[in-house]
């Protein structure tokens, strides 16, 4: 009986095969998860690129603007596609060296590019030649030069006694017509290229100018700010939502 008791209480080696097998299985599972995660990241990156390229091509066709760049934000494009809407998209074209450039941030963009987006904010930048080519400026036979917070435009005006004469008018711009137009309030005026000294202060009100900007922008887009610098004018833009169809984007606004 004592021999049995001694054998029962004698020290024995603990089997480790099962523990080693469980650890190896855990490493395999972790490895598979890492591989799947990497594949998901790669798939998301590829999908993001395809979505951005397709959206840029659609916008170029709809608007006639070249070199449109689309950036889709957010952690997972695949998840956003499943939900049917992209959370935040940036659309841009041009740079500070180009005559015209813009950057627009659009929220809640339907992935099928149909229907209407969520709120839109952005900035449009243009040089003096582009501003001079606006319908409201060119139709008056005017040219525009940009200054620090002010605009100088030259055109012919009917001045009492003198008749139709060319006048250089310096004015401060402001937003009117609920963001659809720019108004230029004259601060001073002079006769260009002449030694004739004429006080035109009393006629400043006659030199006021209003330019409809909505006619150059998609319908529903309005101005929120205007910043004039010597080389460019920058306009802040806003819309409650943009129609994403080709016909919707091609439709322009109007002034009252």
3-class secondary structure for the chain?
Answer: CHHHHHHHHCCCCCCCHHHHHHHHHHHHHHHHHHHHHHHHHHHHHHHHHHHHHHHHHHHHHHHCCCCEEEEECCCCHHHHHHHCEEEEEEEEECCCCCCEEEEEEEEEEECCCCCECCCEEEEEEECHHHHHCCHHHHCCCCEEEECCCCEEEEEEEEECCCEEEEEEEEEEEEEEHHHCEEEEEEEEEECCCCCCCCCCHHHHHHHCEEEECHHHCECCCEEEEEEECCCCEEEEEEECCCECCHHHHHCECCCC
Expressed in angstroms, the distance from the first to the final Cα of the chain is 112
Q: What is the pLDDT of residue 17?
A: 58
CB atoms closer than 10 angstroms to residue 239: 23
How many domains, the chain? 1
The verdict on residue 117 lying in a domain is no
d(CA 89, CA 117): 10
Q: Rounded to an integer, what is the distance from CA 56 to the centroid of its chain?
A: 13
Cross-strand partners of 227:
234
Q: What is the pLDDT of residue 18?
A: 60
Say whether pTM exceeds 0.85.
no
CA atoms within 13 A on the CB side of 27: 6
Q: Rounded to an integer, what is the distance from CA 203 to the centroid of its chain?
A: 40
Domain containing residue 246: 126-250
d(CA 124, CA 103): 7
All residue ranges of the chain with pLDDT < 50 are none
- Write the burial class of residue 241 (CB in 10 Å: 0-12 exposed, 13-18 middle, 19+ buried): middle
Q: What is the pLDDT of residue 132?
A: 83
Q: What is the pLDDT of residue 24?
A: 60
Q: What is the pLDDT of residue 224?
A: 97
The verdict on residue 166 lying in a domain is yes
The verdict on residue 3 lying in a domain is no
Q: What is the pLDDT of residue 57?
A: 86
The verdict on residue 187 lying in a domain is yes
CA atoms within 13 A on the CB side of 28: 6
The verdict on residue 26 lying in a domain is no
The verdict on residue 189 lying in a domain is yes
The verdict on residue 8 lying in a domain is no
The verdict on residue 163 lying in a domain is yes
């Amino acid at each position: 009986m004592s021999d049995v008791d001694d054998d029962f209480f004698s020290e024995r080696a603990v089997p480790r095969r099962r523990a080693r097998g469980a650890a190896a299985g855990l490493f395999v599972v972790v490895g598979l998860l890492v591989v799947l995660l990497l594949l998901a990241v790669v798939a998301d990156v590829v999908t993001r690129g395809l979505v951005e390229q397709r959206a840029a091509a659609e916008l170029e066709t709809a608007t006639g603007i070249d070199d449109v760049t689309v950036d889709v934000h957010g952690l997972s494009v695949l998840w956003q596609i499943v939900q049917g809407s992209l959370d935040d998209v940036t659309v841009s074209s041009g740079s500070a060296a180009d005559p015209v450039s813009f950057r627009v941030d659009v929220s809640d963009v339907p992935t099928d590019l149909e229907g209407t987006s969520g709120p839109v904010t952005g900035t449009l930048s243009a040089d003096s030649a582009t501003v001079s080519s606006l319908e409201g400026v060119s139709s008056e036979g005017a040219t525009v030069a940009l200054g620090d917070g002010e605009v100088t435009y030259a055109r012919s005006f009917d001045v009492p006694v003198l008749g139709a004469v060319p006048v250089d008018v310096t004015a401060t711009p402001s937003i009117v017509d609920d963001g659809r137009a720019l108004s230029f309030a004259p601060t001073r005026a002079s006769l260009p290229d002449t030694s004739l000294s004429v006080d035109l202060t009393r006629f400043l009100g006659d030199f006021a100018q209003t330019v409809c900007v909505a006619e150059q922008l998609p319908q529903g887009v309005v101005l929120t700010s205007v910043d004039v610098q010597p080389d460019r004018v920058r306009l802040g833009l806003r819309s409650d939502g943009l129609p994403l169809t080709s016909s919707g984007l091609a439709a322009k606004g109007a002034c009252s």
